[in-house]
Amino acid sequence: MRKTFFISAITLILIVSVTYLAYAWGFFGHRLINKMAVYTLPPEIIGFYKANIEFIEEHAVDPDKRRYAVKNEAARHYIDVDRYGDHPFDSLPKYWGRAVEKYTEDTLMAHGIVPWHIDRMLQRLTKAFADKDYTKILRNSADLGHYIADAHVPLHCTKNYNGQLTNQNGIHAFWESRLPELFSQDYDFFTGKAKYIDKPIDYIWNIVRASYAAKDSVLLFERMLNEKFPSDQKYSYEQRGANMMKVYAYDYSEQYHKMLDGMVERRMKEAIISVGSFWYTAWVNAGMPNLKGIEKVTISEEEKKEMEREDKMWRTGKVLDSSGHSDE
Ligand SMILES: [Zn+2]
C-alpha cells in the first residue's frame, strides 16, 4: 500500500517534470523577450506596440501551444544543423525553395525549419502591416518573436537537443528555462535601438550559426560540472502550484550559469534586439504605414475563438507531430 503510494508519487513527479521540459525559453523567457523587444522600437511604432504590449507578451508562447493543434508546427521551432554534414553552413541553401530542391521537403521537415520559417513569418508580418490589419500585425509579431527567440537557443540548433545522445537528458530546459528563471533578474537588458535589416535571410542564418557555435560549450560545461558535483545534490524538488517538481538544484544551476560566463544573458539580449529589428524591418518594407494614434486593438470574436481552441488543445492534448524536438 505504502509502496504503491510512493511509486505513484514518483510517477507524478516525473510526469510533471517531463511536461515542464516542453517549452522553449520557458513561458517566462519568451514573454520577457517579446516584452523587452517593444522598448527597442522607434517613435513611429512604439506607441502602437506599447498600447498592445499585454497581447505581445501573453501571446509570445502561442507557437508552443500550437504544436498541440497544428500538424507540422513542431518543426518550425528548431533546426538540427548537424544533420547536414561536416560543413553544414556550406551545404544548407539559404532559401527555402533551393533547400527543398536539394533535400526534399520531408527531410527538411524532419530536421527542423526554423530559419526558413522566420523568413516566412517576416513576409506575413510585412503583409499585415501593408494591409493595416491590426490583429494580424499583433499575432504575427508575437509569433515572429517566438521563432526568433527559439533560433537563439543553442540546443534548438542541434540533433542532440536535450543531451539525449550524451546522457545529459534535461539540459534543454535547464539552459533555456531554469537558468533564466533563476538568474535573469540580474541581467542587463539594455540592447540599444532596433535597426533596419538589409538582408534578413543572412541575418537569420547568422543567428543560427552563433547558436550552433555555442552548443558545444552548453553541453561540455554541464558534462564537466556533472563529473565533479556530488550526484545526490544535483537535483531538488520545488512546489509549483499544486505540483511537486524535480528541478536542477540551485547550487548546481548557479555553478553551471557561472561556467557559461554570461552566455544565457547574451543570447537573450541578442534575441530581444533581433525581434525588435525584425518588427521594425517588416514595417519599413510595408511602406511605413502610419500607426500613430492607434490604441489598444480589439481582437475579433473569430480570432479569439481560434486562440482559445489552441489553448484548449494545449491544455488537454498531445503534440500532433511526434517527430523532432518534442521532449515528451
Ligand atoms: Zn518554440
What's the rounded Cα separation, in Å, for the pair 67 and 322?
A: 10
Domains (ranges, CATH) in the chain?
2-316 (1.10.575.10)
CB–CB of 48/291 below 8 Å? yes
Ligand 1 centroid to Cα of residue 6, in Å, is 34
With vertex at residue 38, the alpha carbon angle to CA 261 and CA 54, rounded to the nearest 5 degrees, is 110
Ligand 1 centroid to Cα of residue 150, in Å, is 5
Side-chain half-sphere exposure of 326, counting CA atoms within 13 A = 18
Q: What pLDDT was estimated at residue 293? A: 84
Ligand 1 centroid to Cα of residue 290, in Å, is 31
Q: What pLDDT was estimated at residue 328? A: 36
Ligand 1 centroid to Cα of residue 231, in Å, is 30
Work out the average pLDDT over 231-256: 94
Q: What pLDDT was estimated at residue 127? A: 98
End-to-end Cα separation, the chain, in angstroms: 29
Ligand 1 centroid to Cα of residue 82, in Å, is 19
> What backbone torsions phi and psi does residue 313 show, to the nearest 5 degrees?
-65, -35
Report the chain's mean pLDDT, rounded to a whole number: 90
Ligand 1 centroid to Cα of residue 146, in Å, is 6
Ligand 1 centroid to Cα of residue 24, in Å, is 5
Ligand 1 centroid to Cα of residue 12, in Å, is 25
Q: What pLDDT was estimated at residue 321? A: 53
What's the rounded Cα separation, in Å, for the pair 47 and 198?
A: 24
Q: What pLDDT was estimated at residue 39? A: 98
With vertex at residue 121, the alpha carbon angle to CA 36 and CA 299, rounded to the nearest 5 degrees, is 70
What's the rounded Cα separation, in Å, for the pair 291 and 52?
A: 12
Q: What pLDDT was estimated at residue 13? A: 45
Ligand 1 centroid to Cα of residue 158, in Å, is 14
- Per-residue pLDDT tens digits for 84-99: 999 999 999 999 999 9
Whether residue 184 has pLDDT greater than 90:
yes
CB–CB of 324/75 below 8 Å? yes
Q: What pLDDT was estimated at residue 324? A: 60
What's the rounded Cα separation, in Å, for the pair 12 and 73?
A: 28
How many residues make up the chain in this entry? 328
Whether residue 60 has pLDDT greater than 50:
yes
pLDDT interval class at 104 (50, 70, 90): very high
Is residue 4 packed enough to be buried (19+ CB in 10 Å), middle (13-18) or exposed (0-12)?
exposed
Contacts 24+ apart (CB under 8 A), 226-233: 226/168, 229/255
Ligand 1 centroid to Cα of residue 45, in Å, is 26
